[in-house]
Amino acid sequence: MMALIRNEWMKTFAKKSSWVYLAAIILAILIGGIFYQKMGPDDNQNWQAESQAELASLNTQLNESSEMDRRWLESRIEQLEYYLEENINPNAKNNWDFMNEVVIGVSALVTLFVVIVCSGNVAAEFSDGTIKQLLIRPHQRWKILLSKYISVVMYSFLLVSVLIAAGYLIGLIMFGSGDFNTKVFEMGIDGQKVSEAGPQFFQKIIFYLPSLLMIMTISFMLSTLFKSQALAVGIGIFVLFFSSTLGGIIVMLADRFAWAKFLIFPHLDLTVYALQDEILGNITLPLSLAILGVYYAAFMIITFGFFEKRDISI
């Protein structure tokens, strides 16, 4: 088994694309860093006076504005008051702010690459015809498939590790070392809450991992079901982009039909739990995880069952 995984690992890194994805993540973080540095408000010293001035102008606006605007204004006032009270410069940026706001955004790119790599993995063996040479070896089919699965999981986690490590280093160089517990405001559906940048970042990453594993597994399943690499990758990316759209539709459906809550799409993105405790009215994190677990088992059974039975006639 170890030999099979080593083989898969060797093949992964013999492909140029595997290195390109790693480089692209570092590059994306770098570009993100440059924008983060240039675009934000200046980090000046008289932030207290500015905040006071903004607060005063917001308060006058509050009386004149409509109901819609008022909510936004109130939350902004609350933020400014909090900063003044705690004596935190809201415009100061450090590496943990960067991690929490920018590096997390780059994780979407990680997901995209994971979909491409996973959905290409088995399908490429079919489209290149190498699957024939692979399956005439003295190894059970499920072992060969499992070694491929493990190797794509390892590669995906390598991408995530590179994301975190490169994010930390680039953040450190560009924004300096900041307080791990820097206070930040995060917007959720139930309104804003105060959190700490470092823990918040790691919480988001931890919520991101199960979603990533699910998307990986779905892509891998597609890769096994389709002989064509292009088709597998195409459908994988389609699912990736439409899952959030579908998730939105399902939120509406869930009000009317209880079963819609058990569809996979609203649970694919668990990072919402970093901001709120319940989704779809009454679904909590353990329940979401349980639903994902059931889907995971189903996908694995389909993938391995199909591969075990399949006639290789290419």
Interface with other proteins by CB under 8 A: which residues? Answer: 3-4, 6-7, 10-11, 14-16, 128-130, 132-140, 309, 311-313
User: CB of residue 177 vs other proteins: minimum separation in angstroms?
Assistant: 41
What is the sign, positive or negative, of the torsion defined by CA atoms of 246, 251, 255, 261? Answer: positive
Rounded-to-integer distance, Cα 98 and Cα 33, Å = 7
Beta strands of the chain (E only): which ranges? 183-188, 191-196, 278-279, 283-284
DSSP, res 41: P
What Cα–Cα distance (Å) separates residue 73 from each residue in 56, 63, 288?
12, 10, 34
By C-beta, is 71 or 137 nearer to other proteins?
A: 137
CB of 223 to other proteins, least distance (A): 16
Burial of 284-302, coded b for 16+ CB within 10 Å and e otherwise, reads ebebbeebbeebbeebeee
Minimum distance, C-beta of residue 138 to other proteins, in the bound complex (Å):
4
Q: Is 284 helix (H, G, I), strand (E, B) or coil?
A: strand
User: Nearest approach, Cβ of 312 to other proteins (angstroms)?
Assistant: 4
Comparison of 5 and 251: residue with beta carbon closer to other proteins: 5
When the beta carbons of 126 and 208 are compared against other proteins, the nearer one is 126
Q: Which is nearer to other proteins, 128 or 277 (CB)?
A: 128
SS3 178: coil
Which CB atom, from 6 or from 71, has the smaller least distance to other proteins?
6
Rank residues 23 and 298 by Cβ distance to other proteins and give the closer one.
23
Question: Cβ distance 98 to 175 under 8 Å?
Answer: yes
* CA 223/CA 117 separation, integer angstroms: 10
Exposure pattern of 214-234 as b/e (b: 16+ CB <10 Å)?
bbbbbbbbbbbbbbebebbbe
Q: Which is nearer to other proteins, 39 or 136 (CB)?
A: 136
Measured from the CB of residue 139, what is the shortest distance to other proteins in angstroms? 6
Least separation in angstroms between residue 128's CB and other proteins is 6
Please report how close the Cβ of residue 135 comes to other proteins at its closest, in angstroms. 6
